[in-house]
Each structure stands twice: as C-alpha cells, then as structure tokens.
C-alpha cells in the first residue's frame, strides 16, 4: 500500500477531546531492553531502541510477540545505519513483524512508511446510484484533514444529504460506505448519526483493560464521554429508528469499517455487497524523540454487542456490484 493509502486507511483513537488531530502521546522513555546496534551511530542505535521499545510497550500484539527474536531481526536490518533515514528499512521490517496490518510510521516533515503487510484491497469505482423516492440515500466517503473546522464541515455535508433525502413514509435508508478507505471516523459518525440513531454504536477493545465506547448523541460523535466532532445544526429524522441497508465493498477500510461496525447489531439493519478490506482496528499515535510519530494498532473494533472484529467484515448478503442496490431496495421495501 502506498504511503497515501496507509494514511487514508487509519482510524486514530481519540486522546482526550481533540479527536484524530489531537497532539500525539509521548512514547515511553524506559526501554524493556537497551542494546547497541552493530556498527551503527549512537543516534541510529538509540533511535532503533526507542522504536522497538515503543512497539513492545504499546502494540496490540505485545503479549504474543517473541521480542528477543523481533529485536534481533530489526537490529540486524539496522546494522551500520548512521542516520534515522538509514533506519527506514529496519522500521519497515518492524512494522511488518508487529503483524497487525495497520500500524505505520509518519516521518518528520511529511512522508513516512506504510505497513508492508497492509491488505491489498480493490473494488470497482462507485457512483451515486439512482434511488426511488421512497428510499432515503446517504453516501459516507473517506475523509482526512487537519484543517481546523474541516471535520465539522464534512459531518455537516453528510447531514445535508440526509436532510435533502428525508421524507414522510420512506421505506428505509441506504447508507453507502463503499470505497471509503477511512481517515477520520469521527465526522463520519457525527454526520450519519441521524440515521444511525442515539447511543453507543461500538467499542475500542484493547488487549487488556476496559473497552472504550464510541457513540452518537444529539449531533455529536463521542469517544467515551469526550465529544470529538459536532454537527452545526443536528438533524432529526421524520421517522425515528428507520430500517437501514448498509452497502460495503472490498475497498472499505479502517474508519470506513468503523462506520460499518457502527451499524452492526443495530435493529432493522442489514448489510449488502462484498467483505471489507480488513483493518477494523484502531491506531494510537506515539511521538518519537525526533518528532516523528508511530501510529500503532492498540485496539480492535467491536460492535454495540461487544462482538470484536479486527479483520475483514463480511456483509449479511454477498452480492455483485450490479445486484447490491436493487437487492437493498427490495429488502427495505419488504417490511
């Protein structure tokens, strides 16, 4: 996966109230093991130790990785390195050895390293389909921006779709998540919340400790009790708790999968299409000493019933591109 693809595909755990744009946490300064990298500069050796220690302390797979072997492979790849950029092959190997398919590295000044084991997913291009007047339709596309206020604007744009399509006596709603590769889940959840409904929609489940719920409440997406993104003017559907058909394909990843998970186990909801890409996990940012950031996978996504995912999410009905919309409409009308 390209660097651009790696970034779009990430859902970042909220740290406090700032959402995906909040300042990254600082990596721990104490290393489980400190050892020199053969023939490397002091800078490169210390940085390699810092990267591996951060992974060992925070990775979702920390309890099942053989860290002696992990360290040995990474240090062998790093031998002779003099600069941090010389370490990129070793950092890439470390990302692969984490075996979470989602963690990545953001370098100082832009660029970085995607996950070498990220799933390679593809799907046909998606266009907004013609939908009859008795069916509501909202498309939830990918979103990633650090521009202040852009997340609210994106949530408002989704909500504007809902407002424009809402009408009396609808048979139900199509929520089209196809080809949503992710980015920032919070404006997606806030925007589609009027159709999703109030309350807990999913959980982040770490390898130890209590899960953190995500929810929609009165126009806002929340992580735990912290409001992350709020729409400008929360919209309320004419008919509460509608029947919903969720459309998915193999290009839906990470934050896109968070939207899919949000509708799982919801009453009067069914999904149609193809299985998602397989990054239904959450990353958290850890800042390194040079200002770079490790985005490490630290939790699985789980639905409102606490069923955990972590990989590809299969639809309730697997269908071809040509069949998915007609079948969704037929199901919505079958109540």
Distance CA 1, CA 118 (A): 7
How high is the pLDDT of residue 13? 52
Going from the C-alpha of 158 to that of each of 106, 192, 228, 320, the distances in angstroms are 29, 6, 16, 26
pLDDT at 265 over 90: yes
Inform me whether the pLDDT recorded for 6 exceeds 70. no
Q: Higher model confidence: residue 30 or residue 104? A: 104
For the stretch 211-242, pLDDT in tens is: 999 999 999 999 999 999 999 999 999 999 99
Cα gap 22→204, rounded to integer Å:
18
For residue 11, what pLDDT is reported?
54
Q: How confident is the model at residue 127 (pLDDT cuts 50, 70, 90)?
A: confident
Q: What is the pLDDT of residues 187-217, one digit of tens each?
A: 999 999 999 999 999 999 999 999 999 999 9
Share of the chain above pLDDT 70, in %: 90
Angle at 235 between CA 233 and CA 239, to 5 degrees: 170
Write down the mean pLDDT value for the chain. Answer: 91
pTM over 0.85: yes
pLDDT at 7 over 60: no
Domain map (residue ranges) of the chain: 3-113, 135-281+297-332
CA atoms within 13 A on the CB side of 83: 2
Which parts of 214-320 fold into alpha helices (H)? 255-263
What percent of the chain lies above the pLDDT cut of 90?
A: 86
Residue 169 predicted with pLDDT over 60? yes
Is residue 117 within 8 Å of 96, Cβ to Cβ? yes
- First-to-last C-alpha distance (Å) of the chain: 42
CA distance 101 to 162: 34
* pLDDT confidence bin for 26, thresholds 50/70/90: very low
Residues 6+ apart with CB under 8 A from 149: none
**The CATH homologous superfamily of the domain defined by 135-281+297-332:** 2-enoyl-CoA Hydratase; Chain A, domain 1 (3.90.226.10)
Confidence band for 33, pLDDT divided at 50, 70 and 90? low
| Residue 79 reports pLDDT greater than 80 | yes
Task: Tell me how far apart the alpha carbons of residues 234 and 191 are, in angstroms, rounded to a whole number.
Answer: 9
Q: Assess contact for 60 and 301: CB atoms under 8 A.
A: no
pLDDT at 250: 96
- Report which DSSP code applies to 23: P
Q: Rounded mean pLDDT of 319-335? A: 95
């Amino acid at each position: 996966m390209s660097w651009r693809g790696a970034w779009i595909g990430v859902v970042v755990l909220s740290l406090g109230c700032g959402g995906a744009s909040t300042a990254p946490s600082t990596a721990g300064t104490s290393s489980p093991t400190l050892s020199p990298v053969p023939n490397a500069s002091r800078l490169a050796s210390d940085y390699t130790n810092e990267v591996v220690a951060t992974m060992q302390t925070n990775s979702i797979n920390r309890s099942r990785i053989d860290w002696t072997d992990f360290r040995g492979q990474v240090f062998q790849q790093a031998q002779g390195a003099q600069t941090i950029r010389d370490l990129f092959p070793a950092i890439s190997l470390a990302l692969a050895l984490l075996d979470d398919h989602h963690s990545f590295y953001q370098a100082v000044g832009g660029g970085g390293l995607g996950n070498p084991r990220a799933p390679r997913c593809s799907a046909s291009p998606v266009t907004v389909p013609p939908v009859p007047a008795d069916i509501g339709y909202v498309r939830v596309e990918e979103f990633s921006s650090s521009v202040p206020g852009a997340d609210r604007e994106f949530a408002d744009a989704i909500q504007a779709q809902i407002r424009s399509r809402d009408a009396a006596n609808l048979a139900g709603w199509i929520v089209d998540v196809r080809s949503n590769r992710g980015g920032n889940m919070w404006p997606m959840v806030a925007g589609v919340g009027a159709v999703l409904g109030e309350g807990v929609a999913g959980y982040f489940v770490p390898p130890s400790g209590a899960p953190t719920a995500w929810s929609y409440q009165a126009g806002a997406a929340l992580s735990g009790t912290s409001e992350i993104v709020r729409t400008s003017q929360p919209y309320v559907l004419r008919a509460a708790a509608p029947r919903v058909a969720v459309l998915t394909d193999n290009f839906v990843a990470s934050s896109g999968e968070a939207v899919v998970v949000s509708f799982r186990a919801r009453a009067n909801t069914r999904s149609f299409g193809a299985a998602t890409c397989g990054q239904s996990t959450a990353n958290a940012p850890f800042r390194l000493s040079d200002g770079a950031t490790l985005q490490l996978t630290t939790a699985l996504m789980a639905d409102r019933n606490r069923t955990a995912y972590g990989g590809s999410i299969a639809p309730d009905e697997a269908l071809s591109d040509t069949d998915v919309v007609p079948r969704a409409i037929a199901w919505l009308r079958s109540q």
